[in-house]
Amino acid sequence: MLLRVSNLTVHYGKAVALENVSMEVAEGSVVTLVGANGAGKTTLLRAMSGLIPATSGGIWFRDRKINGLQAPKIVEMGLVHIPQGRRLFPYLTVMSNLQLGASLRNDKVAVKQDLDNVFQHFPRLYERRNQKAGTLSGGEQQMVAIGRGLMAAPKLLLMDEPSLGLAPLMVAELVPVIKYINERGISVLLVEQNVSLALGVASQGYALQVGRIVLEGDIEKFKTSEVVKTAYLGR
C-alpha cells in the first residue's frame, strides 16, 4: 500500500479534530475524501504532510512511518500536498513559483523536462510565466498550484479542494487534469466538496463526518449512498 493511515487521532488543543481514522491509498489509484465543512479533511491532509502532529495512531508512506517527520522530509519521499486555498507565493513570478516546487531536486535535466511538461499541458502558464502569481485569475492560480506540485516529482499528490472558488467551466477542466496526472503514474488523494468532480475521477472513496470515517469503499457505493448526500449537505 502506497499510503496507510491507521487509527489516527488529532487534537487542536483539547478539541478532537480526527478520531481513529484509518484509510488507504493504493499505488496508481485516485481516491477521494469527501465531507462537509469542518469535517476534518484538511486536518487529515495536514497530518499526512507533517504540518501538524498526531495525538495517536500512525501514517505510513511507502512502508515508512512518516508521522513525526518534518514537512520537507515528507516532500522528499514523494508525498506532495497542494493545500486548500493554493498558498502560492503571490509576489513571485509564475516561473519562480513552479521552480520552487522543485526545491529539493538536483537533477537539473529532469526538472527542466518537468517544467516543459507543465508548460505544454498548461500553455496559459507559459504565456504568463513572467507575471506575478498573485495577479492571475483563480483558475490560473489553481493551475500554478498543480504545476508547482508536479514539479516536486510526486508519487502521491494530495489535492485539497482544487475546485474551491472556481467557475463551473474551470471546475470541469479539472477532470482531464487529474486524469492526466494519474496517467503519468502519480497517485492522487482528492479532497472535494464538488460531488460530480470527486465521483467522476475517483475509483475509491472515504466520507468523513465530524472527525470520523462514516463510509468507505468502491466509488459506485458512493454514487447511491444517503451518507454521501448528508456529508455534502452537512447535516
Ligand X SMILES: Nc1ncnc2c1ncn2[C@@H]1O[C@H](COP(=O)(O)OP(=O)(O)OP(=O)(O)O)[C@@H](O)[C@H]1O
- What lies within 8 Å, CB to CB, of 187 at 6+ separation is 2, 3, 25, 26, 27, 28, 29, 30, 31, 155, 156, 157
Q: Find which of ligand X, Mg ion, another protein, none residue 100 binds, CB within 5 to 8 Å per kind.
A: another protein
Quote the least distance from Cβ 199 to ligand X, whole Å. 17
Q: Which is nearer to ligand X, 128 or 141 (CB)?
A: 141
Q: Which of 16, 22, 26, 92 touches another protein (CB under 8 A)?
A: 92
Contact 15, 65 (CB under 8 A): no
- Per partner kind, with CB cut-offs from 5 to 8 A, the member of ligand X, Mg ion, another protein, none near residue 49 is another protein
User: What is the rounded CA–CA span in Å between residue 175 and residue 113?
Assistant: 24
Torsion of CA 195, 196, 202, 207, to 10 degrees: 10
Nearer to Mg ion, 44 or 115 (CB): 44
Q: Which C-beta is closer to Mg ion: that of 9 or that of 84?
A: 84
Which set of grid coordinates corresponds to residue 32?
477521494
Give the Å distances, CA to CA, from 62 to 27, 78, 143.
Answer: 9, 9, 27
What's the CA angle centered on 26, arms 20 and 27, to 5 degrees?
A: 140
Among 27, 91, 137, 183, binds another protein (CB under 8 A): 91
User: Any contact of residue 38 with ligand X (CB under 6 A)?
Assistant: yes
Per-residue x/- track, 36-55, Mg ion (CB under 5 A): ------x-------------
C-alpha to C-alpha distance for 26 and 14, rounded to whole angstroms: 33
- Residue 176 near which of another protein, Mg ion, ligand X, none (CB within 5-8 Å, type-dependent): none
Binding site for another protein (CB under 8 A): 49, 51, 70-72, 75-76, 80-81, 83, 87-92, 96, 99-101, 103-104, 148, 152
Interface contacts to ligand X, rule CB under 6 A: 12, 17, 35, 37-43, 84, 193
